[in-house]
Structure 1
Amino acid sequence: MFSVSLWNYSLSINPNVTESTFGLIVGANSFAQAIAAPIFGYWSNRIENVKLPLFIGLLFMVSGNILYSILPLFDTSAYSWLIVARLLTGIGAGNSALIRAYASQSSSSEDRSKAIAWTTAGDTLGTTTGPLIQLFFLPLGKEGLELFGFRINMYTSPALFACFIDLMGIVIVSRFFVEDYSMLRYEQKGLDSNMMHPCWTAVGVCVVTRYSQALLLSTFDGVGSSFASMMFGFTEEETVRNNNFSISVQAAIGLLVYFSFIYFNLGRRIAMRTSVLVALLCFILYHCLTFAYPFYDLHVKLASPDVKGRQFGVCESSRFTWCTSLTTYHPLVFYISYLTFVGGFFPIINIALTTLFSKVIGPRAQGTLQGLFQVAGCISKMSSPTILGSTYTVGGPRLVWILQITQLISVLFLWIIFRRKMIGMQERVDEQLEKECKDCEEKEDKTKLEILIWATGERCKA
C-alpha cells in the first residue's frame, strides 16, 4: 500500500539515504519473505493446521506496520528501525503461501484452478487498490496532524490503515475460518501409498518458472518508467499518467481473467500445461514485437549537454554509450503488445502454474513446498534490481530484452523436454496403472489383472 511513497518517507526520516541503501530497505521485505515462507509452511505441515500460522503472520504484519508508522519518534536511528519494520512485514507476508496451500488441499482436483483463481484475484485486488487507497491520504501532507505526540501524515497514515486491515484479517481468521480437509482425505484414498511422492523434476521446473515469471514482472517495475520516458520522449507527467493507465488496464484484464476462471470454471476446459506453454510463447512474442531493432528509422532523442540535472524524454549519452544507436517505435506498439500478451496471459500463467504445481505435489500437506514456490519469487525480486539494472546500464533496453527472451526460451525448453513429467500426481498414477494393466494383458497374467481391477475400483478394466 505504501510502497509508492517509501522513497520519500525514507528521505524524510534520513535525508542522507542513497539509492544503494534504499535497496536494502526494499529488499528487506523480500528477504524476510524468502526465509519465513518455508518456515511457516513446514510449521503448518507439522501441526497439521493453517489457522495458527496465518494468525501469527498477521500479528507480525501488524507489528511491522505500527513500527513503520512511528519511525519519526526514533530520530537518528529511524533508518535502522525502518529496515526492522520491513523485515517484520516481510515475515508476516510469508504466510501467503499457506493460503495457496489450503486452497489446494481443500479443493478437488477438478475445481483446483477455480480455488487458485480466488486467491490470486485477492492478491491482484490488493496490489491494485493499495496504491489507489494511498491517494486518499495525500491531503494530509508531510506535516499532517499531531495526536498525543504522534504525527499522522501522508506517510504514516497508510501504515495505520494497513494495521486496521490486518486486524480485520485476524478477526476473520479467528472467528470465521474453519479448516476442512475432507476433500484431501477423499483424494488420498484413491492413491497408492507408494505413489505419494511428487515428481521432483516437475517441482523443480515449476519453481524455475516461478522465478522466470517474477523476473519478467520485475522488468516493468525496475526499468519501466525510465524506459517509457526515454523511448517515447514522454515528460515526467506523461510517463506517470501512461504507466498508471497501463497498470490500471492490466489489473482490470487480470480481474476479468480470474473471475472468468471462477464463474465459468475454465480450469475444467483448459489444460494447465498447455496454458503455461502458450503464456510463455506470448511473453516471447511480446519481447519480439517491442524489440528496438537496428533497422528502424526513428531514433531516441539525446539529452542536451548544456542542461544540468535529470532530463525526461531523452537518452543521456553522457552516461550510456548505447544511446546514439538506439532506435524507437510508436508507443502504441509497446502498450498494445504489453496489455495483450503480458496483461492478458500473466494472470493465466498465474493460475495455470500454481494449479499444476499443487497437482504435482498431490493430495498431501503442501505448506513447505508452497513456501519454496514463494521463495523463488522472493529471490527473483531481490536479485532482479542488480541483474536488470546492470544489464540496462551496459546494453540498454536491447540487452534487457535479449536477456528476457533468452531466459523465457530456456524455461520453454524445460517444459518441452519434461512435458511428460509436467502432470498431476493423479494423472501420473493413472498412467502407471494403465501401463501395468497392459503388461498384464500382454503377459496374460489374469490373476494380477483381476487384483488390479479389484484394487482400483475397475479403473483398470475401463
Structure 2
Amino acid sequence: MISSNGYANDNGHTPVGVVSFPPADSTYAADRTNAAIEDGAYSRMVDDYPSKLPQDHHDHHIAEDALSTTSSTMTAEGLADPSGFSIICCVVLVGDMTRGVTFPIMWPLVQDLGGNSVWLGYAVGAFSFGRVLASPCFGKWVTQKGYATTLITSTSIMLVGCILFAHVYIIGSLWFLIFSQIVLGVGSATLGVTRAYVAEITATRQRTMYMALLTAVQYGAFSVTPIFGALFSYLLTDQSYKLGFFIFNQYSAAAFFMAFLCIITLFVLSTKFEARYRVKPALSATSSAGTGAGSGGVGVIEKKSKRRIDQDELANRVTFFGLTIYNAALLGCMLLNIMTKGSIGAFETMGIHFAQSYFNLDPAVAGTIVSINGAIGVCTLLSMGYIGRVLSDIQMILGGIGIFAAGILSFVPLQSVEMGAENSIVHYVIGITMIYGIGYPIGHTALIGLFSKGTRHTFILCGCHTCVLVTKLSDTSIQYRNYSIYNTVVGRIAQGPLQGWFAAAGSLSRIFFPIMAGYIAHYDDMTTIFIVLFVVLVVANITVALTARTLTVLSQ
C-alpha cells in the first residue's frame, strides 16, 4: 500500500514503467532530457509498454534503481526511510566489524594453531571468498524476497560464523578457522544490497552525501574497530574463563562480542526495518509538451548538445584491442579498483606480523595504532566534498594513490628485529597514517567516484521483456562507491544483482592479494611484498595519468 507520505513498503504494489519528467516550462527539463535514447537498438517510442505492465509486477524495485536524473526534480529531498538508513548503517557496521575486530588476533591465532604466513593469507582470503560466493545470491534475493528477508538471512549466517570462530582455538584446527572465515564472509556479503537500498531511498541530488556516509561507516568498521580486538587481546592474554558452555579467551571473546552485536541487529531488523522505497510520481499531462509525448506514454527529446555528441563519438570509438573507449574505461575501473583494494588487503594481512617482526610491537598496540588512523581515514572520507572543491578528480586519485604508495615504500628499507634492527615506532605510525589515514581513503574513493560521474539516459528493457526502465549516471560531485556507471553498460540487470556482482568482483582482489602476500612472506621476505605493492600502485597511477584527458571527458 502507498502511504500518505508518498512511499511504499516491501509488501505494497506500485504501478511501474511510467517515469515522469519536469514540466515543459522547466529550464532543467530541456537540458536534461535531450539524448535520452542513445542506442539505436532502443531508439523507439515506449508509449505502449506501461499499459502492458501488471500492477503487482515483481520488478517494481527495479524502476527505482533506474530513476532518471530528470525525474529527481519531482521527488522529495532527503531520505524516504530515515530509520531504515540507520538500520542499514548498523548492518554495514556489524558486517565489516567481523573483519576489523579479528584483525589484531588473526596472526597470533594462526601461530597458536601451528600455522605460518601462508595459512594467514588463506585465512584472510577465506573471508572475501565467502563474500564472493554470496554477494550475487543476496543481490538476486533482493528482487525475489525483499530487503528485510535478505538482510535477516545474511545476519543469521554471520551469527553462526561468529559462534564457529569462537570455537576455533578450542577445536585447534586451521581448516576449521578457514571454514569459519568463509561463513563470516557469506554472512557479511551484503554490501551490494545495502548500497542498492540507499540508492532507492535517497533523492538523486542528495545520494552522494548518503553514499559517503555509508562508505565512512564501512571504512570505519574495518579500520577503527581493531581497537576492540586489541582490547580483548590485552585483557585476556594467556587467560581463560569458563561460563557454562562458553569459554572466553583472547580469541573467543572477540567472536562472542560480534555474536552479541549480530543478535541486536537481528532484533532491530525483525521489529523496526520496514524496507520502504521511493514511489515515482505518474506522468502528468503538463509534461507531454516538454518531453515530446502525449498522455498515453513517455517520450523523449532526441536533440543532442554538441558536448553530448562529442562524448558519444569518443565513447563509441573502438580501441586497438577491439573494445570501445567507454567499455575500456569500465574495464579499467574494475582493474584499478582491484589494484587498490588488493593492495590494502595484502597490507592488512601482514599488518600485525609486520609490526611484530619489524617494530617489536604487541598485537594490541599495533591494532590500536591502526584504529586511530582508521578514525583519521573516516574523517578524511567525510571531508571529500571539501577536498573536491580544491582538487580535481584526477588530482585526488593521483595524490591519494601516490601517498598510499609512498607509505608502502617507506617500509621497504627496513630490516627485521631478528636481524638486530631497532626501528622507531614513529616510522610505523607515519607510514600507517599515510596508508590508512590519507592515501587509501582519498585515492580509492576518488577513483570510484570519477567513473560514477557523467549523465547518460537510455531507455532499455530488463530481462523479463516487459519492464521499461530508465538508467542513468548521476552527475553529482563525487559519487562515493555508487558504481552507477554500470547501470548504462549492463542496464538489463536490476540494481540489487548488479551491485552484488560488483561487490563480488571487488572481493576477488581480497582473496588473491592476501594469499600472494602470505606466500611471499613465507618463502622470501616481508619487504618483497611492499615492493610488489608499490609497483602495483605506481602502475595504477601511471594508467590514470596517461588516460586522464579521456576519463575527464567521459565523466563530464
* TM-score between both structures, scaled by the size of structure 1: 0.68
Instruction: Please name the residue that 1:58 is paired with.
Output: 155
CA contact (8 A) 1:68 1:82 kept: yes
CA contact (8 A) 1:145 1:153 kept: yes
5 Å-filtered alignment, 1:41-120, equals 41-47=139-145, 49-72=146-169, 74=171, 78-120=173-215
Distance change in 2, residues 1:286/1:79 (3 Å): closer
Between the aligned partners of 1:32 and 1:280, the Cα distance in structure 2 is 30
Between the aligned partners of 2:551 and 2:543, the Cα distance in structure 1 is 12
Q: Any stretches of 5+ residues in structure 2 without a counterpart? A: 1-100, 292-297, 303-325, 450-477
Aligned residue for 1:151, secondary structure, equals strand
Is structure 2 residue 402 aligned with structure 1 residue 285?
yes
Shift of 1:218: 3.1
Instruction: Please name the residue that 2:380 is paired with.
Output: 257
Shift of 1:144: 1.4
Instruction: Please name the residue that 2:512 is paired with.
Output: 383
AA in 2 matched with 1:280:
I
CA contact (8 A) 1:225 1:240 kept: no
Aligned residue for 2:269, secondary structure, equals helix
Shift of 1:342: 4.0
AA in 2 matched with 1:385:
P
Between the aligned partners of 2:276 and 2:177, the Cα distance in structure 1 is 39
AA in 2 matched with 1:379:
L
Shift of 1:41: 0.7
Tell me how many residue pairs correspond in the alignment. Answer: 381
* TM-score between both structures, scaled by the size of structure 2: 0.57
5 Å-filtered alignment, 1:269-348, equals 274-275=392-393, 277-286=394-403, 300=413, 310-311=418-419, 313=421, 338=435, 339-342=437-440, 344-346=442-444, 348=446
Aligned residue for 2:247, secondary structure, equals strand
Deviation per CA, 1:363-412: give whole Å up to 9, x if none.
Answer: 98411221222123211111113555677848844554233201332255
Distance change in 2, residues 1:115/1:9 (3 Å): same
AA in 2 matched with 1:279:
M
Q: Any stretches of 5+ residues in structure 1 without a counterpart? A: 294-298, 304-308, 316-329, 424-462
Deviation per CA, 1:213-268: give whole Å up to 9, x if none.
Answer: 202323532566777899xxx641399858853x345323332234446xxx769x
Aligned residue for 1:8, secondary structure, equals helix
Shift of 1:105: 2.1
Between the aligned partners of 1:214 and 1:176, the Cα distance in structure 2 is 34
Is structure 2 residue 348 aligned with structure 1 residue 221?
yes
Instruction: Please name the residue that 1:405 is paired with.
Output: 538
Instruction: Please name the residue that 2:318 is paired with.
Output: none
Aligned residue for 1:5, secondary structure, equals helix
AA in 2 matched with 1:206:
C
Distance change in 2, residues 1:368/1:312 (3 Å): farther
Is structure 2 residue 140 aligned with structure 1 residue 33?
no
Aligned residue for 2:242, secondary structure, equals strand
Distance change in 2, residues 1:290/1:70 (3 Å): closer
Higher relative helix content: 1
Instruction: Please name the residue that 2:102 is paired with.
Output: 2
Distance change in 2, residues 1:167/1:284 (3 Å): closer
CA RMSD of aligned residues (A): 4.3
Aligned partner (choices 335, 354, 359) of residue 208 of structure 1: 335
- Identical aligned pairs, as a percentage? 18
AA in 1 matched with 2:222:
T
Is structure 2 residue 274 aligned with structure 1 residue 178?
yes
Aligned residue for 2:103, secondary structure, equals coil
AA in 2 matched with 1:6:
M
Is structure 2 residue 483 aligned with structure 1 residue 357?
yes
Aligned partner (choices 393, 417, 420) of residue 550 of structure 2: 417
Instruction: Please name the residue that 1:156 is paired with.
Output: 252
Aligned residue for 1:146, secondary structure, equals strand
CA contact (8 A) 1:229 1:312 kept: no
Between the aligned partners of 1:35 and 1:209, the Cα distance in structure 2 is 22
Between the aligned partners of 1:34 and 1:280, the Cα distance in structure 2 is 26
Between the aligned partners of 1:416 and 1:249, the Cα distance in structure 2 is 37
Shift of 1:98: 0.8
Distance change in 2, residues 1:79/1:334 (3 Å): closer
Between the aligned partners of 1:331 and 1:134, the Cα distance in structure 2 is 20
AA in 2 matched with 1:66:
I
Deviation per CA, 1:21-71: give whole Å up to 9, x if none.
Answer: 333222211111011111111221344x22211111101100011111133
AA in 2 matched with 1:33:
R
Between the aligned partners of 2:301 and 2:408, the Cα distance in structure 1 is 50
Deviation per CA, 1:304-362: give whole Å up to 9, x if none.
Answer: xxxxx9336379xxxxxxxxxxxxxx889856755554455555556646455136527
Between the aligned partners of 1:301 and 1:4, the Cα distance in structure 2 is 22
Between the aligned partners of 1:390 and 1:282, the Cα distance in structure 2 is 30
Q: Which moved more, 1:154-163 or 1:133-142?
A: 133-142
Shift of 1:177: 1.9
Aligned residue for 1:4, secondary structure, equals helix
Is structure 2 residue 344 aligned with structure 1 residue 236?
no
Distance change in 2, residues 1:149/1:180 (3 Å): closer
CA contact (8 A) 2:139 2:499 kept: yes
Distance change in 2, residues 1:385/1:73 (3 Å): closer
Shift of 1:158: 1.0
AA in 2 matched with 1:5:
I
Between the aligned partners of 2:299 and 2:512, the Cα distance in structure 1 is 41
AA in 1 matched with 2:115:
V
Instruction: Please name the residue that 2:501 is paired with.
Output: 372
Between the aligned partners of 1:337 and 1:72, the Cα distance in structure 2 is 34
